[in-house]
Structures are given as C-alpha cells and as structure tokens.
Amino acid sequence: MNAPHLTRRDFTVGLGGIALAFSLAPIAMTQQPPRLPGSLETNRLLSAWLAINADGTATVLTGKVELGQGILTALSQIAAEELDLPLARVTIVSGDTGRTPNEGQTAGSLSVEASGTALRFAGAEVRAILLELAAKKFGVAVDGLKVTDGTITAPDGRRVSYGELASEADLKREATGKVAPKPVAQHRLVGQSSPRVDLPAKVTGGGAFVQDLRLPGMLHGRVARPPQYGAQLETFDEAKVRAMPGVVTVLRDGSFLAVAAEREEQAIKAVEALSASAKWKAGPALPDPARLYEQLKALPTQDTVISNKDGPLLASGAKVVEATYRRPYQAHAALGPSCAMAQMRDGQLTVWTHSQGVYPLRGTIARALGMKPPSIRCIHMEGAGCYGHNGADDVAFDAALLARASNGRPVRVQWTRAEEFMWEPYGPAMTMQARGAVADGRIVDWNYDVWSQAHNMRPGDPDGINLLSSWYLADAKPPGPARQAAAPNFAGDRNAIPTYDLPRQRITHHLIKDNPLRTSALRTLGAYANVFAVESFMDELAAAAGVDPISFRLAHVTDPRERAVIEAVAKAANWKPGEKGNGVRGRGIGYSRYKTIAAYTAVIVEVEVDRATGKISVPRAWSATDAGLIISPDGLINQIEGGIIQSASWTLHEHVRFDRNGITSRDWASYPIMTMPDVPKIENVLLNRPNDRPLGAGEASQGPAVAAIANAFAAATGRRLRELPFDPARVKAALA
Amino acid sequence: MAINVKVNGATRSVNAEPDAPLLYVLRNDLELNGAKYGCGVSQCGACTVLIDGVATRSCVTPLSRVGQSEVTTLEGLGTLAKLHPLQQAFIDEQAAQCGYCTNGMIMAAKALLDRNPRPTEAQVRAGLADHLCRCGSHNRIVRAVLRAAQTNGRI
C-alpha cells in the first residue's frame, strides 16, 4: 500500500504512557501577538503541528479527528503539499491530549479551514526553515535551491535530505504566518483525489476503530440504563450478579449501575441480570407525541432577533403567504453503537474514545471525577460515522467510571443498539413559521420565526457536565444550560437568515430552554430544518408570484457564486423553466450557502409518488457545489453525495418514536432508514475556485436536499408537505 | 469449555460457552476485526461472515450452531499484500466513508457474486438491501461490487 499509515493503528505502541514531550506550552506574551492563520492562532508553535524525522518522514499533528469524512487524508495532502514530501512519507497523529494541538471539536465543517489552514502555513514555514539550513550548509542563496520529495538540491548538484537536517531544525518556535504557501499552480497533491489513507485497513480487517482496540487484561463493561430519562434506582440484586461467571466489577453509584466481566458475553448476561433485578422509581413523563410541537412552543424560550431589516411598507397589491414547517427529533443512529476504553493506573486515567473533541472531553471528565486535567489523557480512535454529538463522549465517561472501580485493569464499554437509540442526544424537534409577501415577481417582505431546543450540549460547557452518566451519580452534576449561539454559525438558527437579497426581513430565534428529550448537535444543527423551511417557502412565494422557482431564486441573489451553483445544477439536470409535474413525478430545487459563510450547494431531485401506498421515491438527484479551493475532488463528492442520501433518509423515514413513558425507537425496525434499493442516483458538479480559500462542505448538501424533495413533491402533486418526515401516512393525508 | 472452530482455513480452539455468539468469539478470542458489532439482532449486517459460503449474521449465531462448518471472515478473503478483487474494488471506488458497514457489504457481496457472478445493478442493490449504510456511500458500494464482478476473471 502506497499510503501513509495512521499511527493509531499501532495500538500497543506507546499508548499507555502519559509523559510525552509536550510541545504545546503556552508562550508568555507581553505584547499583542500577531494574528496567525487558522488554528495556528490558538496553537502557535510550529512543533505543535509538524515534526521532521531523521528517517526523512514528517509527522503531522492535528487536533481534528477522523469521523469517516476523510479529513486525515485531506490534512495529510495539505501538509505533504507544502513540505514537498510524497504522501507516503507523511504520518498523521490526531486528537490526543498528550500530543496534538487543542482544536476543540471536530464539527461544523470547519476542519479544512481551521486545521488545514494551520498546516498549510506551518508546512510552508517549516519548508522554509529547512531550505535556510541547507542554504547555510552549502553556502548558497535559498533562491537557487530545489526541493523534490524531501531532498534539497543546490545549483551545483549537492544534495541534502530533510532527514539529515532534522536534528538542526528547531521547530519549537512560534509560527510567523509570514511564509506564503505554494501558489495553486504548483500544487501536486492538493486538488487531486488522493485515495483515503484509512481504507486499506478497513477493507481487510485491520485495526481501524476504537472497537478494535484490545489491551492486555481488558475487561468488558456494560451499563444497566434506567427504563427512562430521570428514573432513580431503588434496589437491585448485587449478590446474584457478583456470583455470575466472569463478573469482576459491579458498580453502583447513585442511579448509575454497571458491570465489568472477563468476557463480553459474560458482561452481556450480567447486565441483563442487573436490569432484570433492578427496581426504578419512574422519571418524569415525556411530552404527548400527538401534541409535541404545541407543547414545545409553550415552554419558556429565550428570544433573539438575529436579523432585522426595515424596508418600505407593503404595497397594496402584495400577495401575503404564510406557512408553518416542522421537523421531528431525529437520531444520529451511527451504524456502530458508541464504544470506549479506559484504564486508571497510579492516579492517571487514559481514555480511548471516538469523541469529536478530546480536550473538551478531558476537561469535563476531570470536573466530573474531581481530577486534574493533566491526570487524564484522552486519545481519539475512530468510531462509526457519528454525524455529530452521539453517545461517544458518554460511553467514554462510562468506561472511566468502570475503570476507576476495576483495580487498574482496562475496561472496554460497548453501548448496545438500544442504548444508543434511547440515550444519544437527538437533533431537536423544531417549528419554523414563515410569513412573506410578493409583488411584481419579487419578495417584498419576509418574517421568520424558529423554535428549537439547544443544538450544542457537548462536553466543554463551563457551567455543567454534559455527560449522561454524570446526571445519575449519587453526587449528580447536571448538564449545562441551553445557550444562544453567536453569528454567523448559530445553532437552531443556523441558516435561518436567507442569503437572498430581501428589502424587509425579520428573523427571530426562540431557544427552548428546557430539554424534554435530550438533544445536541446533529449534522448541520438547525440548517437542515431551516433550509427545508426557507427553500420550501421560496417555492411557495414563487408559486404565488407565478414565477419559475429557479428564475425566482436567481432574481433574488446578488453573489455571483450563488448564481453560478444554481445555474450549474439547473444545467446538469436540464431544468426546463416552468416545467410541471404530472401528478406522480416532478422535480424541485433546494439551495443554500451553508452557515451563510461556507460552501454553496444547490440540489435538484426528481421524485416519484405512489399515490396508492403514499411512498415517495427519489430516483435521481443532481448537485452543484462551490467549496472554494478543492483539496480532494473525490472526497468532496463523497461528502456531498453522502449528505444528499442521508438527508433523503431523514426526510422520508426518520423520527424518534416515544410515548409518555420513554423512547420507543430502540432498533432499526423502530427507527428505519433508507436502504440500498431506494438510494437515488446522483450526478455531482464541482465548481473549483482554486484562488479562493477552501470552504467547509461536509454538511453543505443536507439542507438543499430536503428542500429539493419537498419542492419536487409539490411540483409532482400540487400539494405541499410541511411536516417531516414525509412518510406514507402524511403523503396520503396530503393527497386526500 | 474448549470448542474447536474452523476459521479462514485453520482449526482454532476457543475457551467459550456453546451459546457464546460467534461474533464475540471471532473478535475477542481470535482477534479478528472484520466482523463488527452493529445491532446484535441481525438487522444491520455489519457482523456478516460466511459459513460454508453462506452469508450469515454472526451476532445471532451461537458457537454451537457453527459445528464443523467453515467460517470465512473479511480477513480470510485477502490481505493488504494480496487483496481479494472485492477489497481492491472497494479501494478503487473509494467505496466508504466511515467504513463500519464495509465488512458486511463485502461479505454479502462475496456470497452474492459466488451465486451470481454477473449481477445487474438492480440485483446488487436488492442483494444488499438488508445491509445498512449510514454515511450515504451506497452508490459507491454498488459500483465497487459491479467492478469486482467485472475483474473477477469470470467474464
């Protein structure tokens, strides 16, 4: 395999130790330091990002982590590009509080912008340092030197390799950010579809996931969860479980009840016995699902007007349109339930985790357990694709609790499928209410209100412990409060402000402070629901104005890049202005610029409606994306196409089922998703902008895809679906 | 108790109860990473192995039911140095995002191609209908299976 290897596959090498040379020491600063690009701003030493090794390889350090989005391949490409090294001689280390920079969470389609930019500038500067060393050695000017594959050649033919200069290169210095990265015209690796560095192991059964980690003396842990949120443990039969084969640890702390055993199947039997014997005092009732949205809107909210533009009053001839859209609770539903390993030895806790943020997790575990952060090391290893904040952090804390009670033995905790479905934080149920007006083919007024629970309840909150089991301990520490997020990323209000040029607009976010069902970050946060509502409403206004939906959008855009992606998708799909559906087939468009600052994506889909069964099929989709400078075209297409398919699944199938007594979505039968025969065929167009900075694209297609499906259904049938998911019952009701 | 099981051409002795799910024996006793825990109730396909050539969900297969049958896991198809055409095709098509479903997809595709070496696209989709992918890599997976069918030396 001609691919750089991920050091994390070498599971047994050097993972146990805590004391590693720490290259991230804060720098004493007496004056305002210069602003550095990307995450260099917060991790300023070159040695925090790159090491040149004596064997001529480079080690890249990043605080961002692989979630299946291919980020480590993209970051390796960027670093290798600037260093003038082949990809095979670059090794990447990611998300380790003992080694890598602190880059917070891997979220929000920010990794290429934050970590990639840091590596781009750090790589250019390290290359310049190596060239200076070579120039001095040869007594020639830097200008005359050439670099090929990590070997520097002088004009007279003398050569020196990076490896030979490694010991002289002092990278423990602050980056200046002043060495210009390569011009795009010289790129060899960036812009190429480099094969993913992690796939060879994944197709051959190599150790690729935290689930595959095995440590000597490892125990298997399981948690006996309460029957519903907030239930309190009264009694359980400890003696019986302790006597079961292989059981080593039975841990009860308040209402947290868990077991660790020698063998995995023994742990499963033990936790079943624990659950069977446990008596619980019921927790509070959940909302009535039949009246969910009314009940949520009645809860206390924090209201923020996030955009207000006063314009001329409505002309008398304006047509007013009003609509309300709804999105249910939806699950991340990672294919592999969350898993973690932890070991507590000599007061030092090591946690192997697929968390999206090892530093915030470390800090929160430290506060939850009354430890100091330096006594804890959190090391990222891949889990199944997570699409946001699922059970990853929670299971890491479960493993830490069991490890603390297991005499130095490592404990691997594997959540069950049901546990993941019932206890992960969901994407919130949301209500979007729009009122607008059109006159003479243009929008003259736009009012928009969105109600949502919090979308960011991750570990790292200063005022609470956002770890599930912490809320059930005897010394329970509650979660942090719901918080209004700042522009331009926002949260429940992400993409609530349309990018269209509107003369009057008022957009209000109603943040629901309460958490009747547990929620947090699901891919795109509120953007999926807001783009669904905004782009459905655009079509409703276009219809009121009697204008083709694409022409209507183009009449309201001012950014030429927006215009370009909308026109590109229309061309790819061979869109006919004014095209009409035929009662069962139709096409629709959805567009957004993700977060209003990241990638531009437009999607057209074709739907087919079975009027008898109420089933909507999406046989085809087309997309167009402008993500600025493209690092890996195939990686970008993979994200855009995957986002469309996942969004189609959310849109047609997905909602978390519950009743007053608890969550009833517990497996793939009670939370069905789209399957292979129903997946659309997709054509993707990429608009490369090599001279513009890369724009986050990992979440860019989700919103446009749901809107395109909603608009295609309306085009096909003349009826509109405003409540997700578009399942057969809703479709039949809409057609009745 | 010690039980013999034939995996990837070798007979291995494991110290497990007869009702232990094959999945845990493969993963924990034999340290084979290919088969994955996904649901534990035969719904997602991540744990798929071949038993006497038949695609089987190892999460619901107790060791006692394996008997003298031949178990083949992802590791038994090919290695990094000598990839099976399906493994090569999954790399060529970059047919994954997170790769957690990949084992099940490849093993089910192996059984499918053994039965039907030249499937149509619709047959591949139908053949993988009960294997879940959450990242949206479906179309790439279908292309990889069709590519493997073409390069398998059978056409």
Residues A145 and A218 in one domain: no
pLDDT at A30: 55
Residues of chain B with pLDDT under 70: 153-155
* Residues A125, A326: Cα–Cα separation, whole Å: 50
pLDDT at B74: 98
This prediction has a pTM of 0.95
Please count the structural domains in chain A: 3
Run of H or E residues at A2:
none
pLDDT tens readout for residues A66-80: 998 899 999 999 999
Range 292-331 of A in CB contact (< 8 A) with B: none
Residues A445 and A588 in one domain: yes
Q: Which token pair is A15?
A: 């993972």
Residues A622 and A538 in one domain: yes
A288 part of a folded domain: no
Distance in Å, alpha carbon of A264 to nearest chain B alpha carbon: 7
Residues 6+ apart with CB under 8 A from B53: B70, B72, B111, B114
What chain B holds in terms of domains, given with CATH numbers, is 2-74 (3.10.20.30), 85-151 (1.10.150.120)
Residues A398 and A503 in one domain: no
Residue A102 belongs to what domain range? 7-203
B136 vs A264: CB contact, 8 Å cut-off?
no
- Best B72, B88, B94 residue to mutate vs chain A (most A CBs within 10 Å): B94
Residues A37 and A132 in one domain: yes
pLDDT tens readout for residues A629-660: 999 999 999 999 999 999 999 999 999 999 99
At A31, the pLDDT band (50, 70, 90 cuts) reads low
Q: SS3 for B48?
A: strand
3-state secondary structure A594-638: HHHCCCEEEEEEEEEEECCCCEEEEEEEEEEEECCCCCCHHHHHH
A648 part of a folded domain: yes
A677 part of a folded domain: yes
Chain A: residue nearest B83 by CA? A204
CB of A691 closer than 8 Å to CB of A629: yes
Measured between CB atoms, which of B33, B75, B91 is closest to A199? B91
Q: How many CB atoms lie within 10 A of CB A501?
A: 13
- A700 pLDDT above the threshold of 80: yes
Distance in Å, alpha carbon of B116 to nearest chain A alpha carbon: 18
Residues A84 and A135 in one domain: yes
Buried-exposed string A143-182: b where 16+ CB fall within 10 A, e elsewhere: eebebeebbbbbeeeeebbbbbbbeebebeebbebebebb
Share of chain A above pLDDT 70, in %: 96
pLDDT tens readout for residues A454-507: 999 999 999 999 999 999 999 999 999 999 999 999 999 999 999 999 999 999
Q: In sequence order, what E strands does A6-138 have?
A: 50-52, 58-62, 90-94
Cα torsion through A663, A667, A671, A673, rounded to 10: 160
Mean pLDDT, chain A, as a whole number? 94
pLDDT tens readout for residues A504-541: 999 999 999 999 999 999 999 999 999 999 999 999 99
Residues A517 and A540 in one domain: yes
Distance in Å, alpha carbon of A668 to nearest chain B alpha carbon: 7
Residues A233 and A192 in one domain: no
Range 204-233 of A in CB contact (< 8 A) with B: 204-209, 211-212, 214, 220
Instruction: Respond yes or no on whether ipTM tops 0.95.
Output: yes
Chain A: residue nearest B62 by CA? A265
Measured between CB atoms, which of A207, A642, A675 is closest to B135? A642
Q: In sequence order, what E strands does A53-114 have?
A: 58-62, 90-94
* Residues A372, A366: Cα–Cα separation, whole Å: 6
CATH number, position A629 = 3.30.365.10
Residues A514 and A381 in one domain: no
At A695, the pLDDT band (50, 70, 90 cuts) reads very high
- A7 pLDDT above the threshold of 80: no
- Best A244, A639, A676 residue to mutate vs chain B (most B CBs within 10 Å): A676
A312 part of a folded domain: no
A111 part of a folded domain: yes
Residues A416 and A434 in one domain: no
Residues A602 and A500 in one domain: yes
* Residues A76, A120: Cα–Cα separation, whole Å: 10
- Best B71, B120, B135 residue to mutate vs chain A (most A CBs within 10 Å): B135
Measured between CB atoms, which of A198, A265, A679 is closest to B24? A265
A205 vs B103: CB contact, 8 Å cut-off?
yes
Residues A47 and A155 in one domain: yes
A416 vs B97: CB contact, 8 Å cut-off?
no
Distance in Å, alpha carbon of B83 to nearest chain A alpha carbon: 8
A151 part of a folded domain: yes
A357 part of a folded domain: yes
Chain B: residue nearest A215 by CA? B28
CB of A648 closer than 8 Å to CB of A680: yes
A481 part of a folded domain: no
Chain B: residue nearest A331 by CA? B134
pLDDT at B144: 98
